[in-house]
Structure formats: C-alpha cells, structure tokens
C-alpha cells in the first residue's frame, strides 16, 4: 500500500464484537476528503474542510486563488515518496477509499488538556503516610541538592501543565471502512477529544 496522509476528525469510541464474540474497543474517525493544494520538490500539502474565505487572512486566500481551489480550514504538509510525487497533481482529491481494511495506520492528534496537575497525577508519584503525625501527604519531597549546584536541574518532574500535547499512536488496525459516510473504524484509542482534528498516515 503506498504512503497515504490524510486529515480527519475524531467522532467517538464504542465497542464491536468479532466473529469469536470478543469485544474490541474501536474509535470512529471521519476522514477526508482531502485535496492536494501544493506540491514542492519532496513535499505534498493537503487541505481539509472547506471554509469561508472571509475567515482567512489574505496570505492564505491568495494561496488558494493562485491554485484556483476553494479555501480550506486545515492544511498539512508532509514528505512524500517519489512514486507518490510522480502521480500527485494539484487539485487531486484523496478519499477514504485509499485505505485498506486490516492494514495498520498511525494517528496523531492533540491530547486532552488536564490543566495544572500535581505530582501524583502527573508523574505517578507515591504519597506519604496519612497518619501518625506525618505532614508529608502529597508533597514532592526534596527537589535538589544544597549549595552545590544551588539550583534545580531542568526537566525535574514537578507539578505543572498536563496534556494538550501532540501525541501519536502507532500501528492501529483498520477494522472497517464506510465509504458513504467517510468513516474509518480503528481498533484502540486515538488522542484528543471528540471533534478534534487528527492526522492519519501510513508508512
């Protein structure tokens, strides 16, 4: 299967049953159609989801006017194989038909933000004793040495912002493809909340 890179949205999760009666957790993704908006020496840019030109800046509107294409809300550029580049043309449309059931794909998205989190939730630290006069319940303990080096090293596991990071889940199996509704059924979980933008690609 040639390299395929498309954009879509996460619809939600459920479970399906196979022929042996085993429950399989799956995620529904609404993928494409995606249009090729730009081709360079090694890269291909695809656009997803039409948008009113009034909601874009002049630079993006000019880019779409130059290629005589409708305006897209989301753009993604990726490095393509020579064989894919030779067949690609600006204006070509990729649909969910490019995928094959049973094959593996990688899915990237922005994980759900969890705000400012403490040590236990963010890094799975153990808490201190809760009784017998202990005053170390959910405290981090020592975070560095004394006079030398006299500072806290960068990257120290401490409380802070958790989630809202780009996350990639690799080798997710395609369970089913609904061509009419552009729905891709993937085994397992996908980063992000329902309605979030995801990037689906094959090796």
| pLDDT tens-digit map of 107-129 | 999 999 999 999 999 999 999 99
d(CA 44, CA 54): 25
- Domain span(s) for CATH 2.40.30.10 in the chain: 5-115+165-201
Name 110's Cβ contacts closer than 8 Å, sequence gap at least 6: 164, 165, 166, 167, 191, 192, 196, 197
Can you tell me the distance from the alpha carbon of 107 to that of 199, in angstroms, rounded to the nearest whole number? Answer: 6
Give the model confidence (pLDDT) of 1-27 as tens digits.
Answer: 557 889 999 999 999 998 899 999 999
pTM to 2 decimal places? 0.81
| pLDDT for position 175 | 93
pLDDT for position 202: 86
CA distance 127 to 121: 11
pLDDT for 2: 59
Pick the CATH number of 5-115+165-201 from 4.10.320.10, 2.40.30.10, 3.20.20.70, 3.40.50.300: 2.40.30.10
């Amino acid at each position: 299967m040639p390299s395929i890179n498309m954009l879509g949205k996460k619809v939600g999760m459920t479970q399906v049953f196979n022929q042996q009666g085993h429950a399989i957790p799956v995620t529904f993704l609404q993928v494409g159609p995606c249009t090729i908006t730009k081709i360079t020496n090694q890269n291909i840019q695809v656009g997803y989801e039409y948008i009113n030109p009034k909601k874009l800046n002049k630079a993006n509107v000019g880019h779409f006017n130059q290629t005589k294409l409708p305006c897209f809300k989301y753009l993604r550029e990726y490095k393509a194989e020579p064989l894919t580049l030779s067949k690609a043309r600006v204006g070509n449309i990729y649909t969910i038909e490019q995928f094959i059931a049973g094959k593996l794909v990688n899915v990237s998205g922005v994980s759900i933000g969890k705000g400012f989190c403490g040590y236990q939730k963010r890094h799975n630290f153990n808490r201190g004793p809760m009784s017998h006069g202990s005053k170390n319940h959910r405290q981090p303990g020592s975070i560095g040495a004394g006079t030398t080096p006299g500072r806290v090293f960068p990257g120290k596991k401490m409380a802070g912002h958790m989630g809202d990071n780009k996350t990639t889940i690799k080798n997710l199996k395609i369970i089913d493809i609904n061509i009419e509704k552009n729905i891709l059924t993937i085994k397992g979980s996908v980063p992000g909340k329902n309605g979030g933008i995801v990037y689906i690609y094959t090796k």
